[in-house]
Structure 1
Amino acid sequence: MTAMTRRQMLAAMAASSAAATFGLPARAAGKSLVVPTLGGAWEQFWRTELAPAFTAKSGAAVTLDTGNGRVWSANLRAAGVAKPPYSFLMTNEAFANSLRKEGFFEKLDLSKLPNYADLYPLAKKTDGWGAIAMVSPIGLAYRTDMVKTPPKGWKDLWTNPEFKGRIGLYNFANTAGKMELMLFSKLFGKDQYDVDAGFKALEKLGPIIQADFNLSTGIASGEFVVAPFDFGEVARLRKQGLPIDVIIPEEGMLMFDQTLNILANAPEKELAYEYANFMLSPEAQALLMKQFYVSPTNSKVVVPADLKADVPISGAQMDNILTWDWDFMNSKQGELAEVWAKTVK
């Protein structure tokens, strides 16, 4: 996976030439950074926008490794802590938490990440071990043409009779499903750890429609009328003509996150820090916001007026996003998955 193809070699040579021609940093000329990225539209955006922008700044070529948190975690474990195939990893905190405990990451050298100082508190929740570079806040979406009384919060899933048997949820395999369980445990029990209360609440919901990655198809077809949705996906569905809206639940929002981590034995550690700082910069954050409607984690980024309808969560509203104890969830997820399968119909 780390061997360079002819195309990658040419890209590295081109980066070296660009460094010489335009006075880019000589330290990175001729080097290549392996950048794990999601597939589809994400890969395309990295290939056409973010990777060239980083190369222009650093002089280094970029080799994309398309996958997801499960794939990258498996690749790291197969290679071992001493010889990782990546220099950094950006993935869900649920995956990053486990890899961190296994010794793959180092505590961040903040002197090499000046943009870290400008992050919202939400993005610094890992005590200096990682930095959240992307946030997709999750609210409660509903079909405006099929719901007479819009929800105000998560508890309306239990109290609004219009929703009975017409609720969509992420299943437990998705990190959002695990967050749903911790949220319901907090709402109906003592705290996020009171999973017995969470499962009792799930049972009281009655039949629901579950999905691993894609709830959009179900709500578009009317299979269900209310479900947790990230604001960016609602913006995309709305632009496609679907009568849908999303609220900020009064009890707080969930989120899809992407945490940047530096490998302790990174093959290109200095370049990894440079890339991480680039991803946390207002420039890169603004590009991601405009393309994917994610909420910027750098507080210096101002959401322009023409994007506020699609990116409504920023500034002080970032404090309304809930965070969770992934140490607890990851240590219990096997047994909790079994209880979920028996409980959720």
Structure 2
Amino acid sequence: MTESIKPPSYSRRQALKLGTGAAVSLPLFNINHAWSADVTYDGGTFDAGGATLNVAEWGGFWQDLVRKLMLDDFEKQFNCKVAYDSAFPWFPKFVANPKDKPPFAVVNWNYPEMFKTAKAGDFFMPLDEVMANVPNSKNVWPFATANKVGITWAYARYCYAYRTDMAAPPPTKFADFWDARYAGKRGTYITSNTLQMDFFLAACKVFGKDQYDLDAGYDAMKRASPLKISDFTGNMQALLERGEVAIAVQDDGEAYLQAKKGIKVAALVWDEVKPILTQTMTVSRYTDPVQKKLSLAFLNRTLDAGFLNKFTEAFNYAPVTKDAVIPATLAEFGIKNTADAVSGFTIPDWNSYLEHEDDIVETVNQIFGSH
């Protein structure tokens, strides 16, 4: 982002927070471990001698599928054990541990939590070093590394999922969410969910000057209320299926899956702004040498087309490597894996959002709670 933000006028609570938390956000910590720049990986297999690789990833069906598609084979081929932690969030675990003893060697993130952790300290291996040691990263589309912190390996487009039998005429643009015909039948998420964060920032930009126009976003949330509030996308799918919402913030893959099941749901992908729901991995900078090398191998395997083709088919995500295949369930809705198809994706200024997060969360929660 090249736009600048006006100096904010901090509330008393924010000022106190900044004053007491300043030490956390300083560009601190420069431990020069011998292995900091010496661990290399060329894409092959090696014997890790039974070492444990600490991984932070999503749980449930996601974990079961990753184990089936990759983890079991990975453990055998590299003679290691993957210790899988799905107890999100990861940020508190990083800041609570000594800097040279990170809780995880490799982590899968959504953008806001990843940027928050990167902002708090020198936790991650520099992206250029990661890419130099992950051969499959040479085959990703540019947007996958535009965040400059980690490598995105799968993504979905943000959209509105809407009931085709309750939304006549169908929505055609971002602002149609606020049309009177959807009054009382709109759905979004709790303020800690990335989908709501991106929805709010998109509203700031569409109805205001840019993503920094928070007042425009607050006004948009007021005009959209009352809203059905979900904590995750699966619950929103249920609300759509039961007809409790006529239109809702969603990722496109989930909307297409419902349509394939015969549910009267379609997707309007946002084109005025193009944020994406991402899966992005980082490698911890100061983990021990064996874990670091295993982390690079783990990320390389994640970016392998063989894994991505199977994973994205199961979860209806789109892959980020140029040689991967778009799942049939996405291809039939016109999704393509081409340079034109992935151009124009936007990454919000998450550092700015995080600076104002307390006020955004408090204000938006008040709006949601007052209707």
Quickly name the TM-score band, shorter chain normalised. 0.7 to 0.9
Instruction: Give the aligned partner of residue 78 of structure 2.
Output: 58
1:88 aligns with 2:112: no
Instruction: Give the aligned partner of residue 281 of structure 2.
Output: 260
How many residues are treated as equivalent by the alignment? Answer: 318
Percent identity over paired residues: 25
1:256 alignment partner AA: L
1:34 aligns with 2:54: yes
Instruction: Give the aligned partner of residue 317 of structure 1.
Output: 341
Q: Deviations over 1:78-106 (max 9, x none)?
A: 22322112111111111111111222112
Give 3-state SS (helix, strand or coil) of 2:103's partner.
coil
Matches within 5 A, 1:90-169: 90-101=108-119, 102-108=121-127, 109=129, 110-127=131-148, 129-158=149-178, 160-169=179-188
Instruction: Give the aligned partner of residue 250 of structure 1.
Output: 271
**Which of the numbers 298, 301, 305 marks the counterpart of 1:278?**
301
What displacement does 1:44 show? 0.7
- The answer on whether the counterparts of 1:137 and 1:321 sit within 8 Å (CA) in structure 2 is no
- Cα distance in 1 between the residues matched to 2:344 and 2:327: 21
- Cα distance in 1 between the residues matched to 2:183 and 2:336: 29
Instruction: Give the aligned partner of residue 226 of structure 1.
Output: 247
1:100 alignment partner AA: A
Q: Deviations over 1:288-324 (max 9, x none)?
A: 1111111101122132556513682532222243321
What displacement does 1:35 show? 2.1
What displacement does 1:31 show? 2.2
What displacement does 1:107 show? 0.4
Q: Greater shift after overlay, 145-154 or 73-82?
A: 73-82
Superposition RMSD in Å = 2.0
* Runs (5+) with no aligned partner, structure 2: 1-43
What displacement does 1:153 show? 1.5
- Cα distance in 1 between the residues matched to 2:245 and 2:98: 44
1:335 aligns with 2:359: yes
Q: Greater shift after overlay, 290-299 or 237-246?
A: 237-246
- Cα distance in 1 between the residues matched to 2:141 and 2:173: 24
2:183 alignment partner AA: K
Change (3 A) 1:311 1:265: farther
Change (3 A) 1:311 1:77: farther
* Runs (5+) with no aligned partner, structure 1: 1-23
- Cα distance in 1 between the residues matched to 2:139 and 2:271: 27
- The answer on whether the counterparts of 1:285 and 1:296 sit within 8 Å (CA) in structure 2 is yes
Change (3 A) 1:235 1:306: closer
- The answer on whether the counterparts of 1:172 and 1:340 sit within 8 Å (CA) in structure 2 is yes
Give 3-state SS (helix, strand or coil) of 1:62's partner.
strand
- Cα distance in 2 between the residues matched to 1:306 and 1:172: 30
Q: Deviations over 1:36-94 (max 9, x none)?
A: 221111011122222023235534332222223x1x22222222322112111111111
**Which of the numbers 65, 69, 90 marks the counterpart of 1:49?**
69
**Which of the numbers 290, 302, 311 marks the counterpart of 1:288?**
311
What displacement does 1:337 show? 0.8
2:307 alignment partner AA: A
What displacement does 1:241 show? 3.1
- The answer on whether the counterparts of 1:139 and 1:254 sit within 8 Å (CA) in structure 2 is no
- Cα distance in 1 between the residues matched to 2:196 and 2:239: 16
- Cα distance in 2 between the residues matched to 1:233 and 1:54: 29
Give 3-state SS (helix, strand or coil) of 1:289's partner.
helix
- Cα distance in 2 between the residues matched to 1:151 and 1:30: 55
- The answer on whether the counterparts of 1:87 and 1:262 sit within 8 Å (CA) in structure 2 is yes
Q: Deviations over 1:106-156 (max 9, x none)?
A: 2031220122222112211122x3111121222111111222111112111
Q: Greater shift after overlay, 137-146 or 53-62?
A: 53-62
Give 3-state SS (helix, strand or coil) of 2:319's partner.
coil
Instruction: Give the aligned partner of residue 183 of structure 1.
Output: 202
The runs of 4+ residues in structure 1 deviating greater than 4 Å are: 304-307
Change (3 A) 1:139 1:321: farther
**Which of the numbers 203, 225, 231 marks the counterpart of 1:212?**
231
**Which of the numbers 209, 214, 219 marks the counterpart of 1:195?**
214
What displacement does 1:216 show? 1.4
- The answer on whether the counterparts of 2:91 and 2:116 sit within 8 Å (CA) in structure 1 is no
1:300 aligns with 2:327: no
What displacement does 1:171 show? 2.5
